[in-house]
Structure 1
Amino acid sequence: MESYALLIGATLSAGTVLAIAALGLLINEKAGIVNLGAEGMMLCAAIAGFATVVHTGNTWLGFAAGMAAGALLAAIFGVLVIWLNTNQYATGLALSLFGVGFSAFAGISYVQAKLPELPKYAIPVLGDIPLVGPALFQQHPLVYLTMLLVVALVWFLYRSRAGLVLRSVGESPESAHALGYPVRRIRLLAVVAGGALCGLAGAYISTVYTPLWVEGMVAGRGWIALALTTFATWRPARVLLGAYLFGGVTMLQFHLQATGVQVASQLLSMLPYLATIVVLALISRNPTWIRVNMPASLGKPFYPGS
């Protein structure tokens, strides 16, 4: 039973990385922008956050640095695709490739660096409950803040005027422009906010989830987060559930290895990515369902003068 409690706890932590990044990408896509650069942004944020913690010893400053790095790269991406009308998909891929290379270059001197030991977190009383306590109530505060972020994002998108405007920009930017809304600025703000969340996810990986720096340590999580937005049909609550599902699949490989299951480690390492492909293949069998839930102008450029 104790091993299952540890598996649940690890699933929550692994799912938090995916949830934060996917929520950021969801904000982008609700505004009609597809950003394929999540992997690169997360890697740059990971080294920015790690380096900050190495020099300051403060994890929260590391989170702030990661968010700043992600927001900066997203802002550059936003200017290119929103004002200069470059292709969203090609620009996103270029950003991802840039992030992979730049983070590797910037992180050379930090490969052997060590972070200060993280404090033990536990919710009083609840954290002491046998089995359930270690699994659910001894997580890093960011795990619980992510759950609150989902609630806040649901309220923002579906209960606030600003959220309605954001969704209208993703559905019909021409109509929003005709009503006097600054479509380009709204899209840029959405892209920067999404980039900041991707940056937070990257910083969480390098400072809390696996507190070290290794080249390419994001290991495809940016692409999984991108797939999660489609899997969740652009709904924040479903993003969180999907993130925990994929996080559980990721942790399952380590659980099976620990219990002595005789399966090739390479096959177990494939599980998260195999699950992503299977889910996307199943979803794509019903294109009508996707069209109903997908923002109508997703990936389409907007020309104010047209």
Structure 2
Amino acid sequence: LEGMMLFGAFIAVAVTWWTGDPWLGLLAGVALGALLGGLHALLSITVRADQIVSATAINLLALGITAALIPSIWGQPGVSPGVDRIQALHPPAISDLPYLGPVIRDLNVLDYLGFLLAPIGFYVLYRTPWGMRVRACGESPEAAASAGVNVIRARYVAVILSGSLAALGGVYLSLTQVGLFQRGMTDGRGFIALAAMIFGKWRPIPIMAACLLLGFADAFQFRAQAVGLPLPHDLLLALPYLVALFALTTFIGRATAPAAIGRAYVKE
């Protein structure tokens, strides 16, 4: 997740800088995420490499390649020039509402998409034949295969989609929050997303709730620094990670992962 987010953030800014169009940057980021998801699927499903090793390799590649390309493309180390961002929608009917308006008026299309993805993901995974097949491939691939499911294809599609969504998270950081790319700008958020998945017990709606909680902790540390809250600076910076660590240590024993998670499927 971390590496795919970082690659997505980088290529989105690079394409936006070249074309001047942040929407093309968004598409490029999502497409690269799909390619990286395909690479991860190739290594972990076809080659049957250890999934943790292949994921770590992608994370390290992302850190090294993006850091090396920044000075090669923009001639300056560590950070890119500013680019056009994806702008907030400012819906007139809602922006003027008391209390709610100031919160909603600065949201952009990716914010709304993020809220929609959880119920859409729930419906797809729990109410459609394809989603049930994917879940079966995660619980018992042998049983799914005996029922006629193409386990390899289902897993490939799932990993490629997850790569696209992870890269979309990186695009959100670079093209809506800051309008540039900075070395290592994901700053561990991919691992926080992994913690949210475990905290949410692999279910879309609880995962969204976990993301909102961890996002609140992340936003709180920025707001606390802005208003001069008398707390140590390092403690505020560590707050999102402390909340994620607390969630993991508290709930990881209660979270039931898919039975076949991390296990390669060998077609008989």
TM-score (norm 2): 0.94
Cα offset, 1:173, TM superposition: 0.2
- Which of 175, 189, 193 aligns to 1:225? It is 193
Cα offset, 1:132, TM superposition: 1.8
Instruction: Give 1:1-306 correspondences, 5 Å limit.
Output: 38-108=1-71, 109-110=73-74, 111-116=79-84, 119-284=87-252, 287=253, 289-291=254-256, 294-305=257-268
Task: Give distance in 2, aligned partners of 1:299 and 1:233.
Answer: 16
Secondary structure class of the residue paired with 1:129 = coil
Q: Are the structure 2 counterparts of residues 97 and 241 from structure 1 closer, same or farther at C-alpha, using a change threshold of 3 Å?
A: same
More displaced, 226-235 or 118-127?
118-127
Higher RCO, 1 vs 2 (CA within 8 Å, ≥6 residues apart) = 1
Q: Are the structure 2 counterparts of residues 93 and 261 from structure 1 closer, same or farther at C-alpha, using a change threshold of 3 Å?
A: same
| Unaligned 5+ runs, structure 2 | none
More displaced, 142-151 or 266-275?
142-151
Cα offset, 1:154, TM superposition: 0.9
Deviation sequence 1:30-61 (CA, Å, 0-9, x none): xxxxxxxx111111111100011112222221
How many equivalent residue pairs? 263
Which residue type is aligned with residue 219 of structure 1? D
| Unaligned 5+ runs, structure 1 | 1-37
Which residue type is aligned with residue 85 of structure 1? R
User: After TM superposition, where is structure 1 displaced by more than 6 Å over at least 4 residues in a row?
Assistant: none
Task: Give distance in 2, aligned partners of 1:212 and 1:103.
Answer: 13
Q: Are the structure 2 counterparts of residues 172 and 114 from structure 1 closer, same or farther at C-alpha, using a change threshold of 3 Å?
A: same
User: Residue 78 of structure 1 contacts residue 188 of structure 1 at CA under 8 Å; is this kept in 2?
Assistant: yes
User: Residue 87 of structure 2 contacts residue 176 of structure 2 at CA under 8 Å; is this kept in 1?
Assistant: no
TM-score (norm 1): 0.83
